[in-house]
Structure 1
Amino acid sequence: MQTDVAIVGGGPAGLQAALTLGRIHRKAVVLDDGTYRNAAVAHMHNVLTNDGRPPADYRAAAHQELAAYDSVTVLRVRADAIEQTGDSFRLRLSDGSELTARTLVLATGVRDELPPIDGLGALWGDLAAQCPFCHAHEFSGTRIGVIGGESAAHYAAMLGPIASELVVLTNGEPLPPTWRGGAQVRAEPIVSVEPHAGGVRVRLAAGEPEQVSVLFLRPTLHQSAPFAEQLGLELNPSGCVRVDEFGRTSTPRAYAAGDLAHQPTFPGPMASVVMAQAMGQMAALGAHSTLMEAGL
C-alpha cells in the first residue's frame, strides 16, 4: 500500500488530522489499533458540544464522518515498526503487510505510569484522575484527595475553589517549597485504595483511613509506541517529542500531534481532546504543505 500521509494513532489528534486531509482530497491512511489513553474514562469533558460524551461514542462518530471522504482509509491494525527510506516512510503492520507513505503523522499518545499503590489502577479514569479541567467539576462540594507531595501545591490551588475540603496524601514525598497550607496533610505511605461509599477509601501505613470522593495525581508519562526512538526524533525533557508550531519533528516529513508531543516552550503535553484536535489539524496542514512544496 502507498499513501501521501500515514497517520499512526486513532485518537482525537489522528482522527482530526485525517479529516483535515480528507477535506482537501489528500490521500491518507489512519492506523488505529484500538489503544486509547482515555479508554478507561466514562465521559470526556471540557470539549465544547461534546461535554459529557463517552469517548467511544466520539470515536464512532468520527469514523462515520471520515467514511464520507474517499481519500481517507482507516485500518484497524497496529504499526509495529517505522523506518525512513529517503523521502518516504515504510511502516510494517501487525497483519504482516507494509505501508509506504510520503509523510508521517505520529499520534500514538503516551502511557500513564501510576504510583505502585494497590487498587489505584482499577480506579484510574473514574475515581482517580489527572486533569481538574476534565474531571473535577462533577465532584464539586465534596472532599477531594491529592496523591503526592511534589504536585500538592499545584493541585491545591486548582481544586481549592471546587472541593469542600482537601486532603493531601503525600505518600512519603516531601511537600514543595511553594506549599502554603490550606489542606489536611497525611504523610504516611499509602497501602491501598478502594471504592467505598460512592468514593474512595485510602488505607495508610499508620493511623485511620481517609475517605474522599475522588483522587487526583500526576502520573509519569512514557511514549506508548517505540516510533520516536526508531526514527531518532528529538525529545523534550518531559520525554515527549519536540515539535514546532506546525507539528514538525526533528526528522524531515515526520510530524507529531496529541499528548505524545509538545513545543519546547511548554513544560509538558497539554493533555486534552481539544488540544489534541488542534495539534492534529496543524500536523495535517504541515504534512500537506510539505507535499505541495515538493510538487506532490
Structure 2
Amino acid sequence: MDNSAATPAAPSRTESPAGSTGARYDAVVVGGGPAGLQAALTLGRVHRSVLLLDSGRYRNETADAMHNFLTHDGTPPAELRAAARAELAAYDTVDVRAVGAERVAPDEGGYAVDLADGSTVRARGLVLATGLRDTLPDKPGLAGLWGREAAHCPFCHGHEYAGRSVAVLGAGPAAGHLTRIMAPVASRLTVLADGAPLEADLPDGVEVRSEPVVGFCRSAGGATVTFADGSTEEHAGVFVVPVSTQAAPFAEQLGLATLPSGGVEVDVMGRTSLPRVHAAGDMAHVAALPMPMASVLVAAASGMVAGAAMVAALL
C-alpha cells in the first residue's frame, strides 16, 4: 500500500490581521544553531507552522570541529548545520530564512518579530536560541586562536591536547578547576597568573608563571605565549575563562527574567517568564544547574524540549 497518498496536507499559515505585514506562524524560532534547528524540527514533525531565522552568526563558528557529541565527535559545526537544514527542507510547515531578527515584542496575543530586511513576522509563540557572546581577556593574538588553540571547555577541546603542554590563563579559582580536570590529559600544566596573585588551589605538579602576559601567536606546536620580560613559552593549547553575555537583545526587549550567570532563566521545559516564550541552548539557564551548559549536544536536546513544550503551550 502506498502510504504517501494518506499523508495529510500541511496546514497553511494564516494571514496577519489587516494593517500588519508578514505571515502569522505558530512559532518563530530565532537562532540557527543546534538548539534552534532542533526546536524547528520538533515543531515541524507535528505539522506546526514554524519559521526559523538564521543570522549566520554562531558562537562556535571559529572552531573547526565539535566534540563530545555521540556519533558526531570531530564533525565540523558547519557540516552539522547544513545537514540539519537539509532535513528541515522535508517538512512543508517549516520555513527557514537566512536573515536575523532585530526586535521582538508582544503583539495581539502573540509576538511580532522585526527582521533585518525590514519585514515583520508574527507568531503565537517564540523559541529564542540566539546563544551567548564570549568576551576574551584583552591579550593581543588571543582572539585569533579562539576555538582551536585557545578554548574554554575541556570536555570539548581537552583530548586534542593529550600528552602535550597545556596552559591556563588566569589566577582565579577557575584555574584550579581546569587544571584538575586536565591533569590526566596533559603532560605538563602551567598557570599563567598574568601578574595577579594566585587564588586557585592547584594540584601537585602544576607550574605557575607569575609574569604579565603580553600576547599570543599561533606556532607549529600550538600557541606561543609572550611575557612582559620578553621570554616566550609554547603550549599545545590555552584554556581561558571568557565573560559570556547574551548575543542578542531579545531577552532584554521582552523583560525576561535572568539569572546572575547572565542566562535567561528557564524551567526544565525551557519556559521563560513570559507565556509562549521559550529559550534553548547556552543562552538559557535552569537555576538548578551551576551555569548555562556550553555543549552542542545539550543545546540540541534543550531545543527538542523547548519545541515540544511549545507544542503543548499552543494546544
TM-score, normalized by the shorter chain, greater than 0.5: yes
Superposed, 1:106-185 pairs within 5 Å as 106-150=128-172, 151-176=174-199, 178-185=201-208
C-alpha displacement at 1:246, in angstroms? 0.4
Other-structure match for 1:50: 72
Structure 2: unaligned runs, 5 residues or longer = 1-22
TM superposition shift of 1:171: 1.6
Give yes or no for contact 2:171–2:200 (8 Å, CA) kept in 1. no
Distance across 1 between alignment mates of 2:201 and 2:256: 34
Q: Measured at CA, do residues 62 and 250 of structure 1 come closer, stay the same or move farther in structure 2, by a change above 3 Å?
A: same
Bigger shift: residues 83-92 or 110-119 = 83-92
Aligned length: 292
- Conserved? CA contact 1:33–1:78, under 8 Å: yes
Distance 2:248 2:98 in 1: 16
Which of 196, 217, 222 matches 2:245? Answer: 222
CA distance in 2, matches of 1:105, 1:89: 11
Q: Say if 2:29 is the partner of 1:7.
A: yes
Counterpart in 2 of 1:283?
306
Cα deviation for residue 211 of structure 1 reads: 1.1
Q: Deviations over 1:176-235 (max 9, x none)?
A: 353344310012211000012221110111362111111011110010000000000111
| Equivalent position to 1:79, from 90, 93, 101 | 101
| TM-score using structure 1 length | 0.96
How big is the shift at 1:22?
A: 1.0
Provide the residue aligned with 1:104 in structure 2.
126
Deviations 1:100-157, CA, capped at 9 Å, x for gaps: 0100000000000000000000000111011111111111100001111111100111
The residue matched to 1:136 in structure 2 has which SS?
helix
2:108 is the counterpart of 1:90 = no
Tell me if structure 1 keeps the 8 A contact 2:114–2:120. yes
* Secondary structure, aligned partner of 2:298: helix
Q: Distance in 1 between matches of 2:203 and 2:222?
A: 27
In structure 2, distance between residues paired with 1:261 and 1:280? 10
Distance 1:177 1:239 in 2: 24
Quote the residue 1:189 is aligned against: 212
Q: Give the conservation status (yes or no) of the 8 Å contact 2:139–2:216.
A: yes
Q: Provide the aligned C-alpha RMSD in A.
A: 1.1
Structure 1: which amino acid aligns with 2:314? L
TM-score normalised per structure 2? 0.91
1:20 aligns with 2:42: yes
Which of the residues 162, 187, 204 maps onto 2:227? 204
| Corresponding residue for residue 270 of structure 2 | 247
Percent same amino acid among aligned pairs? Answer: 50
Contact 1:236/1:242 (CA < 8 Å) preserved in 2?
yes
